[in-house]
Structure 1
Amino acid sequence: MESTVTTTEPAQTSKTSSRPGYGQLLRTRGAWTFLLPGFAARQPFAMLTLSIVLLVQHTTGSYGAAGATAAVTGVSMALFAPYSGRLADRYGQRAVLIPGVLVHALAGLALTVLALAHAPLWALFAAAVPTGASVPQIGPMVRARWAVTLKDSPLMTTAAAFESVTDELTFVLGPLLATALCTSVDPAAGLVAEAALTLVGGLLFAAQKRTQPPVTAGTRARVKHDSALRVPGVRVLIVAFLGIGCVFGGMQVSLAAFTESIGRPGLNGVLYGTFAAGNMLSGVVCGAIAWKAAPHRRLVLGYTALALAASTLWTTQSVVLLTALGLLVGMCIAPALVTGYTLVESLVPADTRTEAFTWLTGAVALGQASAATVAGQLEDRLWNGAGFLVPMTGTVLALVTLVALRSRLAPRPDGPGSSRGVGHRPPVSVD
């Protein structure tokens, strides 16, 4: 197995610096070798659900069928993502990525052909399963590379915020690209482009052998017994991320239905992009604040704001007001995402972090898939905008769980992050 670049110098520099910011993070030796291909490879993740919704709705005329097909993809991804992460921890990222992106590209193209051929819904579901199961978990893999590259550096908190911003940048560009392709080129163009970008970006990322986390014999022996899911805090975070997924899925379907109902489908990408832009900008701010409160307390406060903001969406039918509310909801998501991913560093042992990250990513996908299904049914059966009830319900239920079990998110004195848990560093300013 290839060795990993251990950037001891940047980590040591960050310990002595009083201002570990984004600039210092991006100067970390070897970072750009996985950041650039990683960005290209994760871009299709934000295109997949919306591309499926727009294609299937075009061929069937039903948002319910479109949401259900997207939901099968999301559920499949949620079920298989943690095992993909576990295999990556055990055998290395490259060994998982190469076959994964090949399968995903073929399955995505098969789903496209079936949809255009007006195949029955069960056939679309059959193609959606491998499409979702093979989605490459690039985001968790990048986070795992940061964790190894930076080790116990205070820059890990900045890296968590940077990754959230990168995720949200993909959710700004992805829906815009998918909508433009599906509405201006062809209804199938979004899904075809998603498959192509996944294949090319995934192979380029897999080629970066030097920065992938090392795999040891000890890791291979322990991984069957030390699942990240056994950590109570991870299970609580999964519930919180399910609620966040409900926001993504509910927004995607409901905004598509709303813009279709007013005869301006091209606005869908703009509205969803505004929502994602709020998330991205908020993520930048989160990384620039020297937090004094413990991360598990920040998560509860941030999630409360998210639930309150999401509860307002169903009340409006105005484009302007919906844009403003979408921006507000997006701004409330980033603090929860950044803090949740930060907590993983202090709750989970290093040899199961990729798996832990994929549990959270899978939870977002599962919440997104479930929300897309329910929102599609509500839009078909009730009034325009009824799908916005889904983000409200999902976040409120997750908040109740989070408040009740918040003590499980506090790192234990003997836990993996007790010596230097991310989020418990001395306050520093980030620029």
Structure 2
Amino acid sequence: MAARRPVDDPTGSTGYGALLRTPRAWTFLLPALVARLPYAMLGLGIVLLVRDTTGSYGLAGAVAATAAVAQALIGPQTGRLADRHGQAAVLVPAVLVHAAAVGALIALAHGGAPDWTLFLAAAPAGASVPQVGAMVRARWVHRLNERPALLNTAFAFESVTDEFTFVVGPVLATGVATAVNPSAGLIAEAALTVLGGLLFAARRGTAPSPAGPAEPGRRQASALASPGVRLLAGGFLGLGTVFGALQVSITAFAEDAGTPGLSGAVYGIFAAGSMVAGVLYGLIPWRSSARQRMLACYALLVLGCSTLWAMPNLVSLSIAGLFCGLAIAPTLITGYTLVETLVADGAKTEAFTWLTGAIGLGLAVGSTAAGQLIDHSGPSLGFTVPLIGSGLGLVALVTMRRLLLALAPVTRTVARGGAVEQPAGAARHG
């Protein structure tokens, strides 16, 4: 394999204008936005549907959690298939299966089917969510092969896009469900997934070339075989607990304060802080290594989470949430930048998907844990979950930070019994 190009290249143009002038970038960015918007609509759409048809919040949350866990566990496998066989080959069947599973879930819920059947439909609905965010990041790596200075800007742009979808998606799902009926939110989710997914898949010219099947007698390793990828996935799991716990805790805190309608505004301030930080982060030509930035950003995240539980009212909680949000996007951007250096070209989509899946799994864990604490001890205790989750993630990142060294170049040397890949030099230290 050829020597790897540097990823943390502080030279050259790094602005968003230069990024968006990348030839044919808009041909995949616009359909990707359509396909990614439903990502944040599925869970809420399931909750609204199941709550309306069964009257149980507990069942609604459990069914939504089933979809989230299935997505977190199966998503990386679809990412691996995309690396091997091409993005379109995976996307087209995935969106069709997703639409069918969502349709089955709606029919079962309205048909008064047994509760267990809802879980059977929710699992494939979550498992078949197209991993468009990871595929877009893989396309940027492919398109910017000769312009590595723009990669940090590209990952910043994608993280801001993620934040945008998580702000707009739930609002869209709730608005459609309220204006029409609870099923309409999920119908809109499935329609956008199919439309955006097929349009994105059609843009084959901007996709990385598939790696193809492994050579005979040689097993193609998963991206998760990299200790650094596993460490980052653990860190992103902690990050996911922040998202999940804050959604539940802010809602409960606002309701306890007698102003339940303000919960969306408070969470929106948190998300806005992340979006602003992500935009600014992408404008800076960083000279420090991605590993150093990852530890610093994650430490700031833990610091931001440490004050949430002590806030006495919604105003102070909004301010604390804003400062906490400022660390979110920089942590996400740096994590995706790092993971790109830890795996070979044929495993990048899978690696990105492991991080995205870890966030989804952490979100399910965080919301469940916070809900239990709130039921027993009140809203404020729910805010200890983000602190614990992010704190554990920081401990892991600091104590095992050497695992985040970039992948060393490899050369092929001839040994008895065949060709053997060996490191060409020491891993790049950061």
TM-score range, shorter chain: 0.7 to 0.9
Instruction: Please state how far the C-alpha of 1:113 moved relative to its aligned partner.
Output: 3.9
2:37 paired residue number: 43
2:170 paired residue number: 175
1:385-414 superposed Cα distances (whole Å, 9 cap, x missing partner)? 443332222111111111111111122544
Please list every run of 5 or more consecutive structure 2 residues that lacks an aligned counterpart in the other structure: 412-422
C-alpha separation in 2, matches of 1:308 and 1:209: 43
Question: Larger Cα Rg: Structure 1 or Structure 2?
Answer: 2
- Asked if residue 405 in structure 1 is aligned to residue 429 in structure 2, the reply is no
RMSD: 2.9
C-alpha separation in 2, matches of 1:285 and 1:174: 23
Matches within 5 A, 1:2-13: none
- Asked if residue 112 in structure 1 is aligned to residue 120 in structure 2, the reply is no
Matches within 5 A, 1:149-164: 149-153=143-147, 154-164=149-159
Matches within 5 A, 1:288-327: 288-316=283-311, 318-327=313-322
C-alpha separation in 2, matches of 1:40 and 1:146: 18
Instruction: Please state how far the C-alpha of 1:220 moved relative to its aligned partner.
Output: 7.1
Change (3 A) 1:16 1:49: closer
Change (3 A) 1:22 1:114: same
C-alpha separation in 2, matches of 1:311 and 1:395: 10
C-alpha separation in 1, matches of 2:214 and 2:144: 20
1:211 paired residue number: 206
1:7 paired residue number: none
C-alpha separation in 2, matches of 1:175 and 1:42: 12
Q: Is the 8 A contact 2:68 2:126 kept in 1?
A: yes
**Which of 234, 245, 249 does residue 254 from structure 1 map onto?**
249
**Which of 116, 127, 132 does residue 126 from structure 2 map onto?**
132
**Which of 365, 371, 386 does residue 370 from structure 1 map onto?**
365
Change (3 A) 1:379 1:365: same
2:93 paired residue number: 99
2:13 paired residue number: 19
1:13-37 superposed Cα distances (whole Å, 9 cap, x missing partner)? xx99743311011001011110000
Change (3 A) 1:113 1:257: farther
- Asked if residue 88 in structure 1 is aligned to residue 82 in structure 2, the reply is yes
**Which of 122, 140, 144 does residue 146 from structure 1 map onto?**
140
Please give the secondary structure, in 2, of the residue aligned with 1:43. helix
1:28 paired residue number: 22
Change (3 A) 1:48 1:350: same
User: Which amino acid in structure 1 is aligned with residue 355 of structure 2?
Assistant: L
1:75 paired residue number: 69
Using the TM superposition, name which of 378-387 and 159-168 deviates more: 378-387
Matches within 5 A, 1:222-233: 224-233=219-228
C-alpha separation in 2, matches of 1:36 and 1:387: 37
C-alpha separation in 1, matches of 2:175 and 2:268: 12
Q: Is the 8 A contact 1:53 1:253 kept in 2?
A: no
Matches within 5 A, 1:57-76: 57-60=51-54, 62-76=56-70
C-alpha separation in 1, matches of 2:306 and 2:95: 37
Using the TM superposition, name which of 53-62 and 35-44 deviates more: 53-62
Instruction: Please state how far the C-alpha of 1:338 moved relative to its aligned partner.
Output: 0.4
1:8 paired residue number: none
Instruction: Please state how far the C-alpha of 1:253 moved relative to its aligned partner.
Output: 2.6
Please list every run of 5 or more consecutive structure 1 residues that lacks an aligned counterpart in the other structure: 1-10, 425-431
TM-score for the superposition, normalised by structure 2: 0.86
Change (3 A) 1:61 1:352: same
Change (3 A) 1:126 1:16: closer
Q: Is the 8 A contact 1:156 1:422 kept in 2?
A: no
Using the TM superposition, name which of 305-314 and 24-33 deviates more: 305-314
Instruction: Please state how far the C-alpha of 1:259 moved relative to its aligned partner.
Output: 4.2
Change (3 A) 1:110 1:59: same
**Which of 361, 368, 388 does residue 383 from structure 2 map onto?**
388
Instruction: Please state how far the C-alpha of 1:423 moved relative to its aligned partner.
Output: 12
User: Which amino acid in structure 1 is aligned with residue 324 of structure 2?
Assistant: V
C-alpha separation in 2, matches of 1:313 and 1:59: 35
1:312-342 superposed Cα distances (whole Å, 9 cap, x missing partner)? 2233352222222222222111111000000
C-alpha separation in 2, matches of 1:255 and 1:120: 32
- Asked if residue 357 in structure 1 is aligned to residue 340 in structure 2, the reply is no
Percent pairwise identity: 54
C-alpha separation in 2, matches of 1:187 and 1:264: 24
- Asked if residue 165 in structure 1 is aligned to residue 165 in structure 2, the reply is no
Q: Is the 8 A contact 2:244 2:365 kept in 1?
A: yes
1:4 paired residue number: none
Instruction: Please state how far the C-alpha of 1:268 moved relative to its aligned partner.
Output: 3.8
**Which of 241, 245, 248 does residue 236 from structure 2 map onto?**
241
C-alpha separation in 1, matches of 2:33 and 2:144: 19
- Number of equivalenced pairs: 410
**Which runs of structure 1 show a deviation greater than 6 angstroms over 4 or more consecutive aligned residues?**
220-223, 415-419, 421-424
C-alpha separation in 2, matches of 1:303 and 1:40: 30
Instruction: Please state how far the C-alpha of 1:254 moved relative to its aligned partner.
Output: 2.7
Q: Is the 8 A contact 1:67 1:375 kept in 2?
A: no
Instruction: Please state how far the C-alpha of 1:139 moved relative to its aligned partner.
Output: 0.4
Instruction: Please state how far the C-alpha of 1:66 moved relative to its aligned partner.
Output: 3.3
C-alpha separation in 1, matches of 2:235 and 2:116: 31
Q: Quick one: higher RCO (CA 8 Å, sep 6+), 1 or 2?
A: 1
User: Which amino acid in structure 2 is aligned with residue 378 of structure 1?
Assistant: L
1:280-315 superposed Cα distances (whole Å, 9 cap, x missing partner)? 111111111122221111111111111121232233
